[in-house]
Amino acid sequence: MDTEELKTLVVSEIDTRRQQLNELSLKIHANPETAFQEVKSATWLAEYMKENGFSIEQGICGLATAFRASYGQGKPAIAILAEYDALPKLGHACGHNLIATSAVGAGVASKLAMDRFGGTILVIGTPGEEMYGGKVIMANKGAFDDVDIAMMVHPAGLNTAATRFLACQTLEVEFFGKAAHAAARPEVGINALEAMLQSFAAINSLRQHIKDSARIHGIITDGGEAANIVPAHTAGKFIVRAEDDDYLDELKERVINCFIGAATASGARLEYKWAEVRYAPLRSNLTLARLFRRNLQSLGRRVHLYDPRIGIGSSDIGNVSQLVPSIHPLIAIAPAKMVTHSPQFAETAASEAGTKGLLDAAKALAMTVVELVANPGAVAGVKEEFGQGRVSG
């Protein structure tokens, strides 16, 4: 059996499982669970893999809702990553139900390639992508140490084989002032809210003088108790993003100086804490991306290698990509103008277009697995690029 015949078989295998995969996707969508609370979703996904002949490890890396499903033995070990956490209040407005289901669908279909050529197919359940960086924790605990290649596909409004993600880190800030009657004795108060507002103003000024791709954004989580009381406490949460780790370090220092200046001007006391989890920039492996692109195109989709219309965010797969060759393609399930993290995208993630996206993603992933295990030279090419340290972008 040649490679093209096997690719036809894995596509057919996914088609025969269309109803199963769609039902699993809709079940996850109807039961949204936020970061590290994905008990039902992780259980359903692991059970599906076990029913289809995979060995299952649950609760890996000290994360109750992380899992590892494996089939086959030896090299190459190819991991397909599943995300399944939802957004607070919005549910699956990032389409992680589709990411998870396309991963397990591709994993099961890839068994045919392992049986024919050898190697190991892994489906790794990675919880808490939104804000908490589950993959960062898992990477630090060795979850990807024996992985040769990692892939996943994210729903979007466009088809691309490669993406760019920024390094980022979250910052929590508090100002402590002194309460006073805002009308009768304002002169004895220290206004913590003014310190926070001055910080925002300073950051707005800083934005004029940072690199185009860098981002600083935040919210006030505590702005005071009442309008007639000088606020004695304010708090905020910010995210700082940059194209590379070195510039992120520089930008972090400049951002903190905005808060220090506001504290000095207002007299409020500043406390801040950077998150322990830090997202790394994504190294998109272009050799691997081109393989995936060709397979997705064979399904009738027009696929860009990159698309400049896509906004740049951050994801914890960036940390995985620093360890092993990785790709994070996008598959269109909605019009290009529709944004993720919106109620409209949440609806689309449970639509017929969403189902078509998860099936095509699963097929393209499985076909790429076939090419990799059937052709040792393909794996060598992917690893050669990774070894040269080429960073996409």
pLDDT digits (tens, 9 = 90+) for 35-75: 999 999 999 999 999 999 999 999 999 999 999 999 999 99
Q: What is the pLDDT of residue 389?
A: 67
What's the rounded Cα separation, in Å, for the pair 321 and 188?
54
Would you state the structure tokens that stand for residue 131, as one six-digit string? 């804000």
pLDDT of 1 > 80? The answer is no
What's the rounded Cα separation, in Å, for the pair 114 and 121?
7
Q: What does the pLDDT look like over 203-236, one tens digit per residue?
A: 999 999 999 999 999 999 999 999 999 999 999 9
pLDDT of 313 > 50? The answer is yes
Across the chain, mean pLDDT equals: 96
Average pLDDT over residues 344-355: 98
Pairing relation of β-strands 77-82 and 149-151? parallel
Residue 227 DSSP one-character state: T
Report residue 390's pLDDT band, with 50, 70 and 90 as the boundaries.
very low
What's the rounded Cα separation, in Å, for the pair 387 and 13?
34
Residue of 336, 348, 340 lying closest to 307 (CA atoms): 336
What's the rounded Cα separation, in Å, for the pair 353 and 231?
49
Query: Between the CA of residue 157 and those of 95, 237, 249, 313, what are the distances in Å?
Result: 11, 29, 32, 15
Helix, strand or coil, per DSSP, at residue 11: helix
Q: What is the pLDDT of residue 393?
A: 38
Q: What does the pLDDT look like over 106-119, one tens digit per residue?
A: 999 999 999 999 99
Q: What is the pTM of this model?
A: 0.92
Helix (H) or strand (E) holding 319: helix 317-321
| Contact assessment for residue 26 and residue 41, using Cβ atoms and an 8 Å cutoff | no
Report residue 309's pLDDT band, with 50, 70 and 90 as the boundaries.
confident
What's the rounded Cα separation, in Å, for the pair 169 and 58?
28
Average pLDDT over residues 13-28: 98
Q: What is the pLDDT of residue 310?
A: 74
Helix, strand or coil, per DSSP, at residue 274: strand
Query: Between the CA of residue 184 and those of 188, 225, 227, 339, what are the distances in Å?
Result: 10, 17, 13, 48
Q: What is the pLDDT of residue 124?
A: 98
Q: What is the pLDDT of residue 66?
A: 98
Would you state the structure tokens that stand for residue 160, as one six-digit string? 């691309």
Q: What is the pLDDT of residue 307?
A: 77
| Contact assessment for residue 341 and residue 87, using Cβ atoms and an 8 Å cutoff | yes
Q: What does the pLDDT look like over 146-200, one tens digit per residue?
A: 999 999 999 999 999 999 999 999 999 999 999 999 999 999 999 999 999 999 9
Query: Between the CA of residue 241 and those of 167, 169, 389, what are the distances in Å?
Result: 5, 7, 21
